[in-house]
Chains A and B, each alone.
Chain A
Amino acid sequence: MGAETNHEKANKPWKLSLDSWAVVLAFLAALLVRTGIFKHIPW
């Protein structure tokens, strides 16, 4: 049983929290701006 539980744990998909996804998205956007892919963001 214990082995099964460990196996299940190992197969459990790794999940990011909402907070972490927001950080990932913000850094991705910052990277796109930094590399010049997004040159001008209007407001």
Chain B
Amino acid sequence: MADVITVPQVQPVQPALRYLRLIPGILLLFAIGYAGKLLEQNVGAYAKAHHWTFPNIEYVLWAILLGLVISNTVGVPEVFRSGVATYEFWLKAGIVLLGARFLLGDILKLGGVSLALVAIEITGSIAFMTFLGRAFKLKPKLTSLLAVGSAVCGVSAIIATKGAIEADDEDSSFSIAAILALGAFALFTFPVIGHFLHLSDKAYGLWAGLGVDNTAEATAAGALYSDAAGKLAVLVKSTRNAMIGFVVLAYAIYWASKGKAQAVGNKAAFLWQKFPKFVLGFLLISVLATYRFFSKDQVGALANLSRWAFLLTFAGVGLRTNFQEMRKQGLGPFAVGAIGEVVIAGFTLGLVYGASKLFGW
């Protein structure tokens, strides 16, 4: 009998094949990022040679724009998708390498200020988004996801919270779409507002790190302003990311107390599991740089490697943003997200303005 029963077998994908599938998408990220770099160099030179008045557009913006055009016109073919999705991986590797450009003393000094601002931002954002979600009569778990996404770190926080509070797939895709759409909007508005208000690199970097939700968009929004602002935006955003475990744990305990999620057993293990490890890598490499483990030239080489990693990230940000897909997700959560984000952006700008007056930036 056993011979006549055929059991359908799932063929496991060979690990080597799985990695090979990433190559076309990674090459596409590189091609778009590098095209952005070439456009930065050549468009400015061409305009200058022809005596045109043309703003200097950085490679960051070119790479995002090229990605956006491809994603929203021809779309990203299936063969590239898994490789394009690696842009988050390059972002994290780039942040770790960027740690070489920070001395530990600077991190402690700036990290202390940003930690205080991050704590205020997280508390204020969660309170306001919860109020808005209730006012718009959104589902409670959807409100929790939007609150965590806007308070801590965008998509990663939403995914981490979704698992911990057992939220629906639909709720998490609503929240992710809202956070991504608003992140794309922030990319173009934050630098304009920063220049309009004549914010210093320090003040702007702090604001981008506090006010833009997704790490990739916060890094890009900072880099669009200046190199120094980009560095600071990454530091502040990493401080926010470091809080993810505590916020997700608090939500998990809250929903478990209502009997609508599983209780958290080992809280220390939960915190470690949710803690973004790239923040530790960033700190460790800055400790090594502080104690002169790397020469000046080597720090320069690591900074350039970090720029290459970010180049792939920025191309991915554009390729990942599809406005049609976002429109399909509905208006309710988007409206809550949009109102919340505008208020949070204003609130964080006020915080940064206060801090810049207090510390004389």
Contact = CB atoms under 8 A, between A and B. Distances in A.
22 contacts: A18-B89, A19-B92, A19-B277, A19-B278, A22-B93, A22-B277, A22-B278, A23-B280, A23-B281, A25-B93, A26-B96, A30-B100, A30-B302, A33-B298, A33-B301, A34-B293, A34-B298, A40-B301, A41-B300, A41-B308, A43-B304, A43-B308
B235 interface: no
Interface residues of A, number: 20
Nearest to B94: A26
B302 A33 contact: yes
Contacts of B28: none
Interface string B242-285: 00000000000000000000000000000000001110110011
B interface SS class = helix
Interface residues of B, number: 29
A17 B97 contact: no
Contacts, number: 70
A2 interface: no
Given A19-B276, A20-B277, A26 B304 contact: no
Contacts of A20: 277
A15 B270 CA distance: 17
Contacts of B301: 33, 38-41
A43 B280 CA distance: 26
A30 B284 CA distance: 12
